[in-house]
Amino acid sequence: MIQVTVSKENNQITAFELSGHAESGPYGYDLVCAGVSAVSFGSINAVMALCNIDLEIEQGKEGGYLRVQVPHSLNKEIMEKTQTLLEGMIISLETIEREYSQFIKIHRK
């Protein structure tokens, strides 16, 4: 199962972590894993490209782990844009969770 943990402070996403494997299909054909990967990496790339910031990213070598930290020192405009993109990511992950709750669980801290 993929565990998603979203950390918020003052109603803003400060970090998120994905761990585990969906195992909803054979390796290379796991649609839940593919969906979660596409949504999360697409969102990270969008934040870095559109907001022109570097996120603190930690990945597992064998997959199955991703942690992203949002810098605290962003100006208000960039922080708002970053938050909008990350909230969009969470909504997309929640959509996957609604359909495939046996393979993905989202937690909030």
Does 51 participate in catalysis according to the annotation? Answer: no
DSSP E strand boundaries for 1-109: 2-9, 12-19, 56-59, 65-69, 104-108
* pLDDT 10s digits, 4-24: 999 999 999 999 999 999 999
pLDDT given for residue 34 in this prediction: 95
pTM over 0.85: yes
Q: Which CATH architecture has domain 2-108?
A: 2-Layer Sandwich (3.30)
Q: Is pLDDT at 87 greater than 90 in this prediction?
A: yes
Mean pLDDT, rounded, of the chain: 96
Q: Which of 33, 51, 72, 107 is catalytic?
A: 33
Distance CA 16, CA 4 (A): 7
Residue in the block written with tokens 């054909």: 29
Going by C-alpha positions, the residue among 5, 3, 31 that lies closest to residue 19 is 3
- Is 33 designated active site? yes
Domain edges within the chain: 2-108
Confidence of residue 1 (pLDDT cuts 50, 70, 90): very high
pLDDT tens by residue, 20-48: 999 999 988 999 999 999 999 999 999 99
Choosing from 21, 51, 72, 107, the catalytic residue is 21
Least confident range from 9-18, 59-68, 86-95: namely 59-68
